[in-house]
Amino acid sequence: MKEQKENIIKIILSAVFLGIAFLICDVFFKDISIYIKAVIFLPSYLIVGFEIIKEAVEKLLKGELLDEDFLMAVATIGAIIMGNFPEATFVMLFFTIGETAEGWAESKSEKRVSSLLEICPDTATVIENESYITKNSEEINIGDTILVKPGERIALDGVVLKGETRLDTSSVTGESVPKKLSIGDTAISGCINLESPVEIKVTSRKTESTSFKILELVKNACEKKTKTEKFITRFARVYTPAVVFLAVTIAIIPSIILGNAKEHIYSALTFLIVSCPCALVVSVPLSFFGAIGAASKHGIIVKGSDSLEVFANIGTAVFDKTGTITEGTFKVTAVHPKTVNEQGLIQIAASVEKDSTHPVASSILSFANKDQLLPTENVTEISGMGMTATIINKKVFVGNDKLMKKENIEYKDCHHNGTIVHIAVDNEYLGHIVISDTIKPDSKNGLNMLKNMGISTVMLSGDNENSVSAVAKELSFDRFHASLLPKDKLSILEQIMEQEGKKTVFVGDGINDAPVLARADAGIAMGGLGSDAAIESADAVIVDDKISKIKTLIDISKKSVKISKENIIFSISVKVAVLVLSTLGISGIMWFAAFADAGVLVLAVLNSLRTMKI
């Protein structure tokens, strides 16, 4: 913003000196010599033109000569040599106005993104031996207890040990409604404590915390360019040298054939001014940068502007089920023993699953008596099937029907809706446990939004056919695939992409979905900040898990792509019109060329800022 303020002062001073020069040369002393006239107009020109000429010379010495600074320097110095002092000053003045508008717009867009720097506090109050010590958040370890007072941001992720309050989560999730926080609840870093002091047990270091991950994602987001941006960059590299060559041709050839060299040189200089591609080079990236800022305001972290064009053209949305469509919070809803009692069946399963982090294992453990778990050996996890272990010299199998079939164990088929966990010991079937998940409140609304946009929906899951079918029917999925291993999800996604030929997005929530998130045209991680693999593979992260935010992301993406195309068409159309007029040698067109160039830039920049209004 400092540079913009300095430019505004330069513009005002230059305009004042330009007005004085006009009064002296065109009102009071009309017959003044051209040399004195040059001295009178020179201050207003140098005030706005000195830095531009300086940068052009520095770039020229580095071999970077064909940019907008070079074009403006050559065109205006040429105009001065020809005695067109007011035109030269006017061109520099409007060019500076355009650059100031560009800088202001970029600052406005960056403000939305840079405001996220605040979500990651540098310090926190640590409770040690009943004393309160302020420490750098990087020095705080997992297991430490921090005190968060009203009005403070939570520095690190953790679990509430003491106190109850409400949090402002808007900077993290985009939600404006305060969230209640009680003992045992997870406290997310970056949120603001609104009401009462709370004590939080830290569960992650600073570099692993939610706020830090969000900050890193947003800081790196604009480094990836869209296809449109890459095209504009390539276009400018070819376009600008071509225009310089044409300008030289316009100045020389007609002068040799028709004479009147001054008029044709003037046309060539005008041609150079209007050829400046800054409106395209600035406004197109700005529209995508603004979209990233708008998305972050809604709790959607877009990892790069290159994925916005994909999100704008989604035809098929493929979803993981557990943890994405459903809560991922499993509960034991039925126990069907065959040769042991219910509690015995639960205890055997829990003993095998006790060290697993899978949601199914957690639900079984929560239902068991943890003080009576059996000692296990040789615990092995079989991806997509279940687990095996040795208990008192007997091999125990805990998993789905795939595991039973693999081990040739005769099992009882169960038609209950839910996830079925079979238990067997030394190939003797003991029974099964039914575990059910619940659909997220926002899932139905979010999927209906996508359907109303004409996007087809597909669900992929490793759960059994009955469980997946029930969810698919309730949420009106176009189709679904059940009982899938992680590698099956990948192959089915590839089939969908090949058969439908539409831009396909995959929406998942964890490490098992990483390969599919990476393979899709674009990947969205739902609450994936807890999984490094999901962050690495996905193109966007929806922090609060809401499916409805996908429509918001698509709307923002469509608007940014639409605005970038508007800027391209508008900028090129105006420039072509003025280039044609200057080529025809229309008298006085340099004034209009300067105004058109700066005006196009300002209008294109203002148009780009509309992406931030969603």
Question: What range defines the domain where residue 143 resides?
Answer: 121-208
For residue 576, give every residue at least 6 positions away whose Cβ sits within 8 Å of its Cβ, in sequence order, or none.
none
* Domain-embedded: residue 242: yes
pLDDT, residue 533, reads: 57
Rounded to 5 degrees, φ, ψ at 599 are: -65, -40
pLDDT, residue 6, reads: 78
The DSSP annotation for 169-184 comes to -HHHH---S-EEE-TT
Distance CA 139, CA 202 (A): 12
Q: Which tens digits make up the pLDDT trace of 40-50? A: 888 888 888 88
Q: Are residues 393 and 452 in the same domain?
A: no
Inter-residue contact 60 to 244 (CB < 8 Å): no
Q: Are residues 443 and 506 in the same domain?
A: yes
- Give the domain CATH number at 513: 3.40.50.1000
Q: Average pLDDT of 320-336?
A: 80
Q: Are residues 190 and 233 in the same domain?
A: no
The partner residues of 394 in beta bridges, in order of sequence, read 391
For residue 253, give every residue at least 6 positions away whose Cβ sits within 8 Å of its Cβ, in sequence order, or none.
none
More confident residue, 395 or 464: 395
pLDDT, residue 548, reads: 93
Q: Which tens digits make up the pLDDT trace of 353-381? A: 988 877 788 888 888 888 889 999 999 98
Burial label, 124 (beta-carbon count in 10 A; 0-12, 13-18, 19+): buried
Q: Which tens digits make up the pLDDT trace of 131-156? A: 888 888 888 889 899 999 988 888 88
Select from 377, 404, 436 the last residue of a domain.
436
For residue 57, give every residue at least 6 positions away whose Cβ sits within 8 Å of its Cβ, in sequence order, or none.
73
* Domain-embedded: residue 31: yes
Angle at 447 between CA 437 and CA 558, to 5 degrees: 140
Residue 410 CA neighbour count, 13 Å, CB half: 2
Q: Is the pLDDT of residue 452 over 90?
A: yes
Q: Average pLDDT of 499-524?
A: 82
- Give the domain CATH number at 199: 2.70.150.10
Select from 163, 179, 208 the last residue of a domain.
208
Buried b (16+ CB within 10 A) or exposed e, 186-211: ebbbbbbbeeeebbbbbebbbebbbb
Q: Which tens digits make up the pLDDT trace of 74-119? A: 767 776 776 667 777 777 777 777 667 666 655 655 555 455 556 6
Q: Are residues 167 and 102 in the same domain?
A: no
Select from 405, 436, 467 the last residue of a domain.
436
Q: Are residues 175 and 242 in the same domain?
A: no
Q: Is the pLDDT of residue 224 over 60?
A: no
Terminal-residue alpha carbon distance, the chain: 24
Q: Are residues 455 and 604 in the same domain?
A: no
pLDDT, residue 45, reads: 85
Burial label, 566 (beta-carbon count in 10 A; 0-12, 13-18, 19+): middle
CA 370 to chain centre: 43
Q: Which residue has the tokens 């998305």?
A: 295
Inter-residue contact 137 to 190 (CB < 8 Å): no
Q: Are residues 49 and 141 in the same domain?
A: no
Question: What dihedral do alpha carbons 298, 302, 305, 307 form, nearest 10°?
Answer: -120
Q: Is the pLDDT of residue 528 over 60?
A: no
For residue 395, give every residue at least 6 positions away whose Cβ sits within 8 Å of its Cβ, in sequence order, or none.
388, 389, 425, 426
Number of domains present in the structure of the chain: 4
Q: Are residues 193 and 262 in the same domain?
A: no
Inter-residue contact 568 to 600 (CB < 8 Å): no
Which of 50-54, 90-94, 439-443, 526-530 is predicted least confidently? 526-530
The one-letter amino acid at 98: G
pLDDT, residue 575, reads: 73
Q: Average pLDDT of 307-326?
A: 88
Q: Could you say which DSSP state residue 385 is in?
A: T
The one-letter amino acid at 54: K
Residues annotated as part of the active site: 320
Q: Is the pLDDT of residue 420 over 80?
A: yes
Query: Would you report the helix, strand and coil content of the chain in percent, each value rounded to 5?
Result: 55, 20, 25
pLDDT, residue 311, reads: 92
The DSSP annotation for 206-248 comes to GGGSHHHHHHHHHHHHTTSPPHHHHHHHHHHHHHHHHHHHHHH
Inter-residue contact 347 to 364 (CB < 8 Å): no
HEC assignment per residue over 4-47: HHHHHHHHHHHHHHHHHHHHHHHHHCCCCCHHHHHHHHHHHHHH
Q: Are residues 189 and 147 in the same domain?
A: yes
More confident residue, 468 or 98: 468
Q: Are residues 41 and 62 in the same domain?
A: yes
Angle at 344 between CA 340 and CA 345, to 5 degrees: 75
Q: Are residues 106 and 130 in the same domain?
A: no
Q: Could you say which DSSP state residue 153 is in?
A: B
Distance CA 499, CA 492 (A): 10
What percentage of the chain reaches a pLDDT higher than 90?
15
Q: Is the pLDDT of residue 222 over 50?
A: no
pLDDT, residue 451, reads: 93
Distance CA 212, CA 125 (A): 18
Distance CA 233, CA 576 (A): 19
* Domain-embedded: residue 274: yes
Q: Average pLDDT of 294-303?
A: 81
Q: Are residues 479 and 409 in the same domain?
A: no
Indicate the pTM of the whole model: 0.63
